[in-house]
Structure formats: C-alpha cells, structure tokens
Chains A and B, each alone.
Chain A
C-alpha cells in the first residue's frame, strides 16, 4: 500500500487521517485508511462500488466518527460525530434538496440553518457560479439530475468552505455542466480551499485532481499525485490503425516489448484495419519509429483505456474487460 505523500511544511493540511477504521456490524467498511489532503488541492477518492469511498467522505463531513484511528479536519481533531469544524461543506449520496422548495428557497433555508443572514449569504452569487440563475425561482422538483448536482454544489459553496467534500459531483452532468463544475472547483482550489471528491470516472479525476487516493475493499491501494499513478500503469492496451494492417502486424510482432492482443477489446468498434496492442510507453515509441521506417502510415494510435484507468483497474484488481 502506498502511504500518503508527505507535504512540505509550507502546505497546510485540510485533512489528516491515520489508520481510520469503520465497521458496519460485521462489515469492515474502512480498514486502516490514511489520507492527507492539502489546502489548495483537488484530491480524488476513487474506487469500485462498495470500496468505502462514501463512508470515508461521510467521516470527513463529520456524519459519523471513526471506530479507530485519528482524524484531523482543518487542524482540529474529530473525536465525535457532527463535530466537524466550520468551513467544511459538501454532500454524500447526492445533494440533499427539497423538491417542494425553489432553488433559491433551498439555499436560503440552508443559509438560515447555518446561522447566516439570508441577504448576506450570497445566494445569487453562488447560483450564478453554478449557472442556475435562470431557474433560481423554479421548484427543484422539475430539475434534472445535473441541475440538482449543481444546486448541491451551490449549497456547499454558500458557506465559502475551506474543505469541500463532494460525492460524485459530476454524476449526471452534460459536458457543459461538467465544464461549469470543473471551473468552479478549480477556482475554489486556486483560492486556497481543499476539495475532496469521489468519482468512478477516471477521466474526471484526470481532468480535475492533482492527487488521488484509490480505495479498494476498505483499504488504500494508492495515494499520491495523479502523475505518479499514471506512471504506474505499466503496459497499456492501445488501438492501432494503419494504412496496411498486415504490414503493421509484422512490425508489431518484431518489436520487443510490444504484444499483439487478439482478444476483442470491449467497447471498441469492430474494424478489420485496427490492431489492439499492449506496450509500455518506451516500447510504443520504438514501434512508431519502426512503423515509419517500414513505410506504414499510422492513422490512429490511442489507448483503449487511459493509463490512469488502466492503473486504477490494476490496483483494484479489476480486469479491463470487466469495466
């Protein structure tokens, strides 16, 4: 298991967890989880379904207290449930919204519950930030999943959090909505807040997070910078399309470190011209040079799954084809 990357003395931690355990009856939901999240960073928590991501995020939000280990949130030790410091906001299992209330009323109620003055709470500003100004006075009942997600984010932003904890925040968002949320989260981190988000989509993690923690069966399989995870991907499957697949096949077979994969790749379009190969990055460079030298034009060379996703699948012991 990788241990959390130590931060420099100049980077204060928003979350410091050591040996966190959590049980649900006989089920071990978290088993000795360590986690460091620095302020000003976006940290992804990924893992297969049932890995313990939501439980971990629930602990960060203070919804429960760990059965073992120590947890510090924004510098304060958390020893009992619902005692998380001010400055922590977010949601797990989807944003909690009341469908019979309008978007604005939902936020106003939340502001009032948190002791904020309704007028000074900045409701219009956060609605604008997440792009929901036009529907501010519509009942949430009619909102799509993506709009609910964005309103949930607005509710979290209302408190100007220093630690934002979000469970699958881009779930259900269209590309435009996703970009909106990405912009908001990136801006928040740039302003010095820490963001912890869970996702099962590695492309979102790749686009947003500087650090990632992979949780599998309640344990941390990897924790560190995204670049480091990418480098650990090892051999990755690539789809190779050339102008002469027969010649390309011969070159592939002759190149050391490159293996032809004859199994049909899941999700790939059937094509007589496409080859699926497995190789590390260095071997791939050699293959391209050989193809060019052999006069075989390369039309497409792309990973079947991203290196990040391949690393994730390897670390969580899921074959790619089971995705």
Chain B
C-alpha cells in the first residue's frame, strides 16, 4: 500500500491577465528593434513633414501632397496615406506577427505555460500587449505628423472638393482619419496574430500581415468592382479621404471601418481557436501550417465573399467601378467652384460666391469613343461658369482627368492659361501654384449614379 499526500489547495489558482500583459509588454519593449521603431514613429514623421514642406517640389502625386506648403495638416495626411500602404502593414508584422512566434523561436512556450497555466490568459495577454504597442506606434505616427502642423503652420486645409477647412476643423478631421485608419490596422494585427500562431517560427508568420497588407493595397489600384474593393480591409486606408469632402462621404468610411473590424475579430478569433488547440508537448509541432489553409484562410475568404455579396445586393453601384460621368461632373463642378473662389481671394479680386458662379461641367471618356464610366486617364472635362459682374457672359475651362480605380482623380488644367494654367499666386504661406492649375478630387464609389 502506498501513502499519498493531501492535494494542494491552489491547483486552480488564477493569475490575472494584467500580470501576463505586463510581462508581454516588458518582453516586447526590451527588444531593441521595437524601441527603435517606436522612436522612429514618434520622430521621423515630424521631421519628414517639416523637411518636405521646405522643398520647392512637393509630392503632388500623393493626396494632399500639393498643399504641404500651405498647411501642416496636409503633411499629416500625406504621412497617413503613405503609412496605410507601407508602414502600418510592416509595423503590424513586426509586432503582432511575431508575438507568438517569438516564443517558438526562443523555446519558451512550456516555461510560459507552466508559469501561467492558462492558454486563454496567455493569448489575451499577448493580444493586448501587441495591440498596445501597435497603438503606441500608430499614435506616434499621428501625433508626430500632426506636430509638423506646428512647424509648417496651423493654417486652413483645402479639402478634396476645394472647400477651405478651418484649422480647428482640419485638426479634428485629421484625428478622425487616423482613428479610422486604426481599424484596418487592427485587421492586419489580427492577421498577424493568426500567422504567428499558425506558422510558428516560419518567417512567413512574421511576414503575413505585410504580405497581406501590400497585396490588398495592390488590389485597390486594380480595376475591380467596388464591392470587392470595399470588402477588403485595405479600403479603410483609403476611405478616410471621404472626410475631406463636403458633405463627407460617410457611407464608404463606415463600411470600411465595419469590414476592417470584422476581419480583425474573425482573424483574432481564429488565432485564439487554433492556439487553444495546440499541443505544447509535441516539440516538432511549433506551428500548424497544414491547418492554416483550412482553418485560417478559409473563414476569412468566407467573410470576404459574404461582404461582397451583401454590398452587391444592397448597393447596385458596388457591382461596377462606381465611377461614372455624372459623379465626375458633379464632383468637378463643386471642386472647381470652390477653388475658383479661393483663387479669386488669392488674386485679390472682388469676392465671389460659389452660387454666383453657377458652374457646371461636362465630361466624356476617350473622346466619346468608349463608355463614359470607370477609371482611366482619357477623361476630358469642360467646366462652364458665369463670369461674375459681366452680365450673362460665361467662361469655359478644360481639364484632363486621370481617374484612379479608388475614385480619386487628378484634374490637370488644359486652358485657358489665364484661368487654369500654371502661374504663381500669393498666399499667406508664400507664393504657390494657381489652385485651378492642378487639383485632386474624389467621387463616392458607393453613391448612386450622379
């Protein structure tokens, strides 16, 4: 007969998630790689905005880039546009994509499990810690780039339909834009957690958010139906631009945020599900590569497909490109009128209002040889307006439009040179190019036909 001892009372002792969370933060922040990243995110944007704004040539191909001389808020939006495509996917890769894989690399899973004894709490601690660090990095980018506004100048921002946005309003809109961009960042973070759990120490686990982010950003520049474009989280990195029109294009923005949060929830949930089913005594199984396709990718593909279906059914416009003659004409008319008023002020001419101009535009694609829908650089528009104080006299200005599949267009003045040619005007920020010469605009892809 064998004696046994009394069972200890604390077999089910629960360590609060907060302790694991603090430990995960300590581990993450002890990495030089992350420390440098955090510093870079808090310093580089301010330096970049400040430096670029001093250059004679501005990044006019980037949205708001042409206004970087005029106001510091434009710099923050340029940083946001660049970050959405390249920086945020990479940052999520380095944080969320590595937070589980690091334990595989270091061989510390068993140690952690024996200490905490709860995969649920380990997952929660890791997910929260990586979320915190990602938030810290995004906050750094936002605040640092906004700090550029203090250096360059806290002046009004010119919106995407030419309206002048007061500095305080611009600050609020820029803040909201960064917050909206956080939603797709969360989606990429969820994908990062999923990759980190499923692929273990494989480099693909680390790269997954970056690859997914760049791939989805690439999809945004392809001529895909609106439903496909909007069903991808990467649309959230674009949709914020709707805040800078009047009225704001809230619909696509809300859809983008909801889609992004849905992806974040599904990817994180899948990562959690897979993590709880991992066998930590099997030393050869540091990842679940075989399950990745079936359990990881398939549900996200279903979410993607369902979103496309819902969008296609609820918004007929979503089945096509979302870009048509009516929308472009309407957008160009508004933008031209607003910028004409701005130009009038800058040239110190008698004040005129948008209503007085009674502007209208006619656009056609490819000289009428192709259908007047969809993206392309064959759009040519003629804007007509009533010349203020000259009876019924009307003026005409011609623009060449380069319309991209995401609904953005660049209008390039094609005469008359006195109206939309290149010349300098005096502004509070110094000499600047004629605002009617080249300008950016955007159309609401989900709106009904214009």
Interface size class, chain A: 35 or more
User: Is there a chain A Cβ closer than 8 Å to B376's Cβ?
Assistant: no
CB of A76 within 8 A of CB of B281, answer: no
Which residue from chain A places its CB closest to the CB of B103 in the assembled complex?
Answer: A96
B113 and A86: CB pair below 8 A? no
Separation in Å of the B94 CB from the closest CB of chain A?
15
Most buried by A among B26, B279, B282, B283: B282
Which B residues, 1 to 53, have Cβ-Cβ distances below 8 Å to chain A?
A: 1-8, 10-13, 15, 19-20, 22-23, 26-27, 30-32
Across the two chains, which residue of chain A brings its CB closest to B1? A9
Complex alpha-carbon distance, A82 and B113, angstroms: 7
The winner among B7, B31, B119 for most chain A CB atoms within 10 A is: B7
Asked whether any CB of chain B lies closer than 8 Å to the CB of A83, the reply is yes
Contact of A86 among B6, B11, B116 (CB under 8 A): B11
Complex Cα–Cα for A112 and B15 (A) = 9
In the complex, per-residue mask of A36-69: 1 if CB is within 8 Å of any chain B CB, else 0: 1001000000000000001100110111100000
Complex Cα distance A12/B281, Å?
Answer: 28
B369 interfacial contact with A, CB 8 Å: no
Whole-angstrom CA separation of A318 from B176 in the bound complex: 71
C-alpha spacing A8/B111, complex, angstroms? 34
Q: Which residues in B have their C-beta under 8 angstroms from that of A76?
A: 7-8, 11
B112 within 8 A of A: yes
Q: Is A150 an interface residue (CB 8 A)?
A: no
Number of A-B contacts (CB under 8 A): 134
Q: Tell me, yes or no, whether A288 is within 8 Å of chain B by CB.
A: no
Q: A74-B7, A100-B27 are in contact. Are A91 and B111 (CB under 8 A)?
A: yes
Identity of the chain B residue whose Cβ is nearest the Cβ of A158 in the assembled complex? B115
Chain B residues closer than 8 Å to A91, beta-carbon distance: 110-111, 114
Fill in one digit per residue for B83-114: 1 if any A CB lies within 8 Å of its CB, else 0. 00000000000000000000000111111111
B: contact size bracket: 35 or more
Q: Does A301 contact B (CB under 8 A)?
A: no
The answer to whether B11 and A101 touch across the interface, beta carbons within 8 angstroms, is: no
A92, B4: Cβ atoms under 8 Å?
Answer: no
In the assembled complex, the CB of B91 is this many whole angstroms from the nearest CB of chain A, namely 19
B26 proximity list for chain A (CB < 8 A): 101, 105, 109
**Interface status of A319 (Cβ within 8 A of chain B):** no
How far is B113's CA from A93's CA once the two chains are assembled, in angstroms? 13
Contact of A93 among B15, B30, B283 (CB under 8 A): B283
Query: A99-130 interface mask toward B, CB cutoff 8 Å, 1 = contact, 0 = none?
Result: 11100010001101111000000000000000
Docked Cα-Cα span, A14 to B8, in Å, equals 11
7 example contacts (A-B, Cβ-Cβ < 8 A) are as follows A24-B284, A58-B280, A64-B280, A91-B111, A97-B106, A98-B108, A114-B115
Residues of A bordering B, CB below 8 Å:
6-14, 16, 22, 24, 36, 39, 54-55, 58-59, 61-64, 72, 74-76, 82-101, 105, 109-110, 112-115, 155
B-side interface residues toward A, CB under 8 Å? 1-8, 10-13, 15, 19-20, 22-23, 26-27, 30-32, 106-119, 279-284
Add 16 more A-B contacts to A9-B1, A55-B281, A105-B30 (CB < 8 A).
A7-B3, A10-B3, A12-B5, A54-B281, A62-B114, A63-B281, A82-B117, A82-B118, A84-B117, A85-B8, A94-B107, A96-B112, A97-B108, A101-B26, A113-B115, A113-B116
